[in-house]
Structure 1
């Protein structure tokens, strides 16, 4: 007689691991690049809870000037009212929710919803409603402005947040303020001005780009074509992996990567001779009538700083331009490369700034296409295998303390990435039970 064996069915279910558990000191799991549930959690816990860069004050120079932007997935408008006050508001009509502005930037007297004609002032106040008699006793216009966001600025960079409990922007920037003060010196003594921008998307996760701006290790490999386009003296300057540069963790996820230490302070050593390769710009400035001290200052400032400053989570001040990222989906990120110069600066100076921007960052430049392909390959690689970790441990055993008391590693170390992921882990773990 056969013995009948009763098999007990085992219930199997996938147990989702918290994103914070996927970040370890020295490595992060590749699913952070590809898991859509983690991406949605990032939008809520990071982009909706911290200071996010939305634009530069120079982009809205006059009363009525505006620029549209995003805080995570939220479309917002940054605008100046008639008193020159800046406002950051949700780009969403309070009636049926349509966006009230679709232009990237411009100048207007008011924002009018194209669906039902509700009109809003530059400060977001609800000013006009078609057939107002139908709303008599139903609504109060004063209670229905465009929803405003808390916003603050530093050195002209405007940040906004949905988190009204967050610390002041200057406290959040912390050690990065010193480097922002140095970065704006590249305007040559003039206020920083946005000269233009271009936008593009790449098929990859936003954190891939966040890592890139504090990664010197890739430069001589990915950017061979850029280096080959330079004169010998300039190419030697970009041979910095064995130099005296460093990466410093500035706290709050921010970091600075100093590649060319002699170009950290652009107002230092102005008495040195102007290099021969910069004489053409010097002569153009002299031809415009500028005295020699100003010529030296402008020539030195025109070519940018010697460092990249990464501000968590979405903007970097990268040598000579702003790079802004916007998370679109788990596998798509929009990038803005923003050219900057000096407001009221000599024409020859701003023209040189634009040509340098086009050479590396522009859509036909040497840097952007190569970076974009590298980012795309990282995203593709994240799909390989059922398990896998991304290493960010370079230089972990060769750290020291900076004069400002911060953890610092060699220029090719991944110190900045680890600092960013430390902040990421902290924010993604918020609200979890101990």
Structure 2
């Protein structure tokens, strides 16, 4: 009996510390059990997703009063909504009576939220406004004390984040060095505000950290994405031959990182006087025919293909060249991915149409990129179950680092600098509040 008690105490002392001990900073490696241990996964939901800023949507998805979209923070369902005064709110999607969700649509427009179970009605800001047989609650409840639970939410450059913690640092501080890159990413509207054009979702049988690693992993590109490269014209294929180029991966702090693959496309407002690539001449002609000036045409054409970098924002969203990739942990061995196509609010139809076609070419469910990525992620999960508890290597470029003008650590474009930065933040969060 005492042995059973000891085992329970050991288990309770710190699953988080056990996970943190599986991250070896010095040698640049992590234990493969981080992909498959269900106890660690449950602890991650609390220590990571419930204790930091998590991306929930883009402001353009809820542009009007009454517009909403549903999302998740870890496993917890939330609603991003704009009230009648156009203020943004993030609400727990849970009726305060018996706990049913009050909104099941992915996105839409509404005047209020009503629980389908017992009819409790809530305003757009979460306030409880009505309930059937209200007289039976006389002297029992105070409706002012039972709004939908509100989360702290803040936005930066249209990206909306929410957190369960009221004592956490402001979002701008959390994003830190990533803000510069978010600002650059948002230039791909071609002079127009970036807006969400659409999305598609899929699940892959693997752990969320496998995908987190992928966004700043250039090393896999010429291997996994041979089919994509073969679908390109020669000039475009040359652009994606970047492993020996001047690109880099920079650790931006707090788990964020940026991978610059095509340095000449960092700032889409630079070099507008360069010749328009042949593959975009048809688009340029269409824009000219609509009466756009030569400067406008050049700005739109330069922006249409997106930036030359991937920006990873810990723990769940990346601004990846021309789209958002949002991950949601479902279980230790399953992750949902949203690929969000982006265009320009009020931009020419031809521009947004081209953005969609380029998105479909790589990211779409029938594209040349995403299916290959998905298979690789699945194989990593499957392979992590083989043999004794071994190590996953994230040490490439560890001894070949430099300091950027912003004072951050960076390595070559094929280095694993971003992954190590993410795991340092992960390790910190998994041991926060514990004695060493």
1:151 corresponds to 2:153: yes
Cα offset for 1:12? Answer: 10
Cα offset for 1:381? Answer: 0.5
> Partners in 2 of 1:164 and 1:38 — Cα distance?
25
> Partners in 2 of 1:84 and 1:165 — Cα distance?
25
> Partners in 2 of 1:156 and 1:432 — Cα distance?
35
Name the counterpart of 1:376.
378
SS of the residue corresponding to residue 328 of structure 1 reads strand
1:187-206 alpha-carbon deviations (Å, 9 max, x no partner): 01111100000000000000
1:323-367 alpha-carbon deviations (Å, 9 max, x no partner): 000000000000000000000000000000000000000011011
SS of the residue corresponding to residue 273 of structure 1 reads coil
> Partners in 2 of 1:276 and 1:248 — Cα distance?
32
1:233 corresponds to 2:241: no
The equivalences for 1:409-420 within 5 A come to: 409-420=411-422
SS of the residue corresponding to residue 305 of structure 1 reads coil
Tell me the TM-score normalized by structure 1. Answer: 0.96
SS of the residue corresponding to residue 395 of structure 1 reads coil
Name the counterpart of 1:50.
52
Q: In the alignment, which of 119, 135, 138 is matched to residue 136 of structure 1?
A: 138
Q: In the alignment, which of 113, 121, 124 is matched to residue 122 of structure 1?
A: 124
Name the counterpart of 1:252.
254
Cα offset for 1:261? Answer: 0.2
Name the counterpart of 1:38.
40
Name the counterpart of 1:101.
103
Name the counterpart of 1:5.
none
The equivalences for 1:26-425 within 5 A come to: 26-425=28-427
> Partners in 2 of 1:157 and 1:375 — Cα distance?
26
Cα offset for 1:307? Answer: 0.1
> Partners in 1 of 2:339 and 2:91 — Cα distance?
23
> Partners in 1 of 2:352 and 2:6 — Cα distance?
63
Cα offset for 1:97? Answer: 0.2
1:271-327 alpha-carbon deviations (Å, 9 max, x no partner): 111122210110111111111100000000000000000000000000000000000
SS of the residue corresponding to residue 101 of structure 2 reads coil
Supply the RMSD in Å over aligned alpha carbons: 1.3
SS of the residue corresponding to residue 313 of structure 1 reads coil
Segments of 4+ in structure 1 off by > 4 A? 11-17
Cα offset for 1:414? Answer: 0.1
SS of the residue corresponding to residue 150 of structure 2 reads coil
> Partners in 1 of 2:46 and 2:6 — Cα distance?
29
> Partners in 2 of 1:66 and 1:317 — Cα distance?
22
> Partners in 1 of 2:119 and 2:147 — Cα distance?
14
Name the counterpart of 2:20.
20
SS of the residue corresponding to residue 377 of structure 1 reads helix
SS of the residue corresponding to residue 405 of structure 1 reads coil
Aligned residues, how many? 425
1:371-408 alpha-carbon deviations (Å, 9 max, x no partner): 00000000001100122000000000100000101000
> Partners in 1 of 2:432 and 2:277 — Cα distance?
52
> Partners in 2 of 1:189 and 1:381 — Cα distance?
45
SS of the residue corresponding to residue 126 of structure 2 reads coil
1:58-109 alpha-carbon deviations (Å, 9 max, x no partner): 0011111000001111100000111111110000000000000000000011
Cα offset for 1:129? Answer: 0.4
Name the counterpart of 1:3.
none
Cα offset for 1:133? Answer: 0.4
SS of the residue corresponding to residue 21 of structure 2 reads helix
Unpaired runs of 5+ residues, structure 1, are 1-8
